[in-house]
Amino acid sequence: MATKRKTRTKKPAPAKKATTRTKKRVTASKAPKNKKQPRRAPTAPPGYKRVCLMTGGGDAPGLNSVIRAFVKASEDLGIEVLGSEDGFEGLIQSGRLVRLRRSSVRGILPKGGSILGCSNRANPFAYPEKDRRGRERVRDMSKEVLARIERHGIEALVMVGGDGTMSHGRDLMRLGVPVIGVPKTIDNDLAATDYTFGFDTALDTATWAIDALHATAESHDRVMIVEVMGRYAGWIALCAGIAGGADVIVIPEIPYDPERVVRKIQQRSELGATFSVVVVGEGARPIGGTRATVSKGRKGHVERLGGAGHELAQRLQGKVSHEIRVTVLGHLQRGGSPSAFDRLLGTRFGVEAALACQRGDSGIMLALRAQDIVSVPIEEALAEPKLVPSAGQLVQAARHVGIELGA
């Protein structure tokens, strides 16, 4: 009987383990096809898209440099710029807001003044107007300003000005308006910044005038008194007096003794000098006296200074052997083409103001510190005026070169 052969069942080969690459491929194949991934909502860029620029207070050389740079930089950053004519007038009166583009600022860099205009009367919290009888009164127009800001979709105010403009900006900021300040004054008395644009040009003008008066003073054997601006700060008087070789400088920070001025002129005569040049800051006053004013300040406005040079001339009359003449430079110091320094500083301020708008800054003022433009709180700029230190290096330099300071 034949023996049955056992058939050996062949075991199936064990499955190979999938490699990492294979796993990835399988996983990928199982993913649903054509399924759109959710897109993130675009994040809105920070900062303001529509701002209003104004030049408040008195005019100063270099204002157009700021306007030009700010408009150009803002357009480059996608920011729309409106200009308020004559300071706050544009936000108080209708029809005084203008759109500023690159074409609006072409060719204005070397020009003095402001293409927007300035006003030191348009205080939004004490706006002067006349009643039915023609009497002047002041009125709070801040609600009208806020309404016009909202109506025109203005997201921030860029205010170029001195302490008065900055104080208005601080008050508007407290009402919820974002504010960015740019320091401007020929007086150079704004705290928190080393220099304000406009000062350098005014200083050049005053120095030129002192140089010119030297010749006529010497020709006629006269005492020439030059009254310069600066309000309660003596930066223009002291710096221009030193640069122009004045014999006497009297500044608001150091009340003067008229007898010391007389002695200085007499000493020069004894040494053979037939003339003297005296520089007077408009806010200067004699020891125990008061400042000379043209008019008192109404509510919300400061007093108007003037006459300090003539007052000193009266105190010298009859005590010196020379004829005395007084020259008041006045607004001559505010005009003219800005110096290279003021053009450069104004341009830097304008660009930095546009960048501050892009960042969405508020409640700050730009300031020059050493070689850099920085941001400081507006309150810091208004803490106290920047006056000439009575014992500082500038005063000591004047004394050491023989200039009489009256005290």
Q: Count Cβ atoms below 10 Å from residue 125 Cβ, excluding itself.
A: 17
Contact criterion met (CB below 8 Å) for 380 and 374: no
Q: 3-class DSSP state for residue 164?
A: helix
CA atoms of 66 and 366, how far apart (whole Å): 12
Give which of 220, 200, 196 is closest to 208, Cα–Cα.
200
Q: From 29, 37, 105, select the one nearest 70 (Cα to Cα).
A: 105
Catalytic residue among 59, 187, 189, 257: 187
Residue 244's Cβ-count burial label (10 Å; 0-12, 13-18, 19+) is buried
Report strand pairing: 127-130 vs 136-139: antiparallel
Determine the Cα–Cα distance for residues 358 and 352; give it in Å rounded to an integer.
10
372 is catalytic: no
What residues form DSSP beta bridges with 223? 276, 324
What's phi and psi for 378, nearest 5 deg?
A: -60, -35
Are the beta carbons of 236 and 202 closer than 8 angstroms? Answer: yes
Q: What residues act catalytically?
A: 187
